[in-house]
A and B are shown apart, each in its own frame.
Chain A
Amino acid sequence: MAINFNIYSPSNASTKTVVVDFVADYLASNSGVSASTKYFFKFTTSARKTDNSRYDVRIVEALDDLVLDEGVKKQRITNTAAAYTDIKSMIMDYIYDYVQGHDAGEYGTTVTEQLPMKFN
């Protein structure tokens, strides 16, 4: 059963939704000689970034899969490299990253620029 997180923008009076599900699927990166399913969290949304581009589907297999993974491996909210303590904190950090985006170099020079969610 998936969980829907609705994100409301008062200034735009609009709501966007991020869907989080826990699934067991084949991952393309895991196919080949050793075919096996993987259990993981999957984040999807039909919302767009402010440059009108789509969000990639994001996969989380463990609590040390931190949201900022462009070489820095940091939690988005706390700027720490510690693993998430529980499922809730992991999900909230990923949702926060979806909504806010982050600027290039915000937590390190290797962070790739992302854009906030578009509500208008």
Chain B
Amino acid sequence: MAQIRIYNQETNTYLSIDFNLQQAISDTTTTGDLDCYLIISTNVPTVTGGTFPRFKVRTLSDVPTGYVAPAANFDQLCQWYYEYITVESQITLSSSSSSSEQYSSSSSSSSECYSSSSSSSSSSSEGYSSSSSSSSEGYSSSSSSEEYSSESEGNISSSSTDQI
């Protein structure tokens, strides 16, 4: 699973965006084939205080509303979702003024959130990696569409013990 964590310095809490690889028998086909897809979920609140839907991604054309499909690769696709969610929720990011590179050491001061991304694999080793946030090309509009509704969203409440 890949996860972006967004740290709020004022409340010492985290929000997160999760990218989960999942498999299931698809209920949309009559063949009963196994399907594999990404589920993108977040506990970042929308600007109105609501919750984002869970996004189901099967192809590189499953992009957020307002972006031009297809994404070039999964790296770009995930950055678009990150950008879409943070823009929609109007989270202020300290590193948002930086270049198009994904990593930026935050320098500008007047903001409240710091973001990091990390990954974990159930099978092996790789450790923690921090990074993130950028503003890249493409975003334009607002309302969300491609949502995946299934079980209710697991609300990952922030753990105050975590440290960057």
- In Å, the complex CA distance between A26 and B1 comes to 14
Number of residues in A with C-beta < 8 Å to the partner?
29
Q: How far is the CB of A20 from chain B (nearest CB, A)?
A: 7
Evaluate whether A25 and B129 lie within 8 angstroms (CB atoms) in the complex, with A63-B59, A87-B58 already known.
yes
B121 A39 Cβ-Cβ under 8 A: no
Chain B, Cβ-Cβ closest to A3: B23
A39 B74 Cβ-Cβ under 8 A: yes
Which of A29-37, A66-74, A97-105 lines the interface with chain B? A29-37
Q: Is there a chain B Cβ closer than 8 Å to A86's Cβ?
A: yes
Which of A7-15, A40-48, A110-118 lines the interface with chain B? A40-48
Q: 1/0 contact trace for B57-99 toward A, CB 8 Å? A: 1111000000000001111011100000000000000000000
Q: Is there a chain B Cβ closer than 8 Å to A19's Cβ?
A: yes
Q: Is there a chain B Cβ closer than 8 Å to A85's Cβ?
A: yes
Number of residues in B with C-beta < 8 Å to the partner?
41
- Interface residue from B35, B36, B131 paired with A36 (Cβ < 8 Å): B131
Evaluate whether A39 and B19 lie within 8 angstroms (CB atoms) in the complex, with A87-B37, A88-B58 already known.
yes
B122 A23 Cβ-Cβ under 8 A: no
Q: Is there a chain B Cβ closer than 8 Å to A106's Cβ?
A: no
Which of B125-154 touch A at CB < 8 Å?
Answer: 126, 129, 131-132
Q: How far is the CB of A88 from chain B (nearest CB, A)?
A: 4
Kindly list chain B residues whose C-beta atoms are within 8 Å of the C-beta of A62.
60, 72-74
A61 B129 Cβ-Cβ under 8 A: no
Evaluate whether A1 and B74 lie within 8 angstroms (CB atoms) in the complex, with A24-B118, A25-B126, A88-B36 already known.
no
Chain B, Cβ-Cβ closest to A44: B123
Kindly list chain B residues whose C-beta atoms are within 8 Å of the C-beta of A85.
59
Q: Is there a chain B Cβ closer than 8 Å to A22's Cβ?
A: yes
Kindly list chain B residues whose C-beta atoms are within 8 Å of the C-beta of A44.
121, 123-124
Q: Which of B19, B22, B121, B132 has most chain A Cβ within 10 Å?
A: B121
Q: Is there a chain A Cβ closer than 8 Å to B156's Cβ?
A: no
Q: How far is the CB of B69 from chain A (nearest CB, A)?
A: 12
Q: How far is the CB of B81 from chain A (nearest CB, A)?
A: 10
A35 B103 Cβ-Cβ under 8 A: yes
B21 A37 Cβ-Cβ under 8 A: no
Q: How far is the CB of A67 from chain B (nearest CB, A)?
A: 15
B22 A1 Cβ-Cβ under 8 A: yes
Which residues of B pack against A, CB within 8 Å? 1-4, 19-23, 33-38, 57-60, 72-75, 77-79, 101-103, 117-124, 126, 129, 131-132
Contacts A36-B101, A39-B77, A62-B74 known; list 5 others, CB within 8 Å. Answer: A19-B123, A21-B123, A37-B103, A39-B2, A63-B59
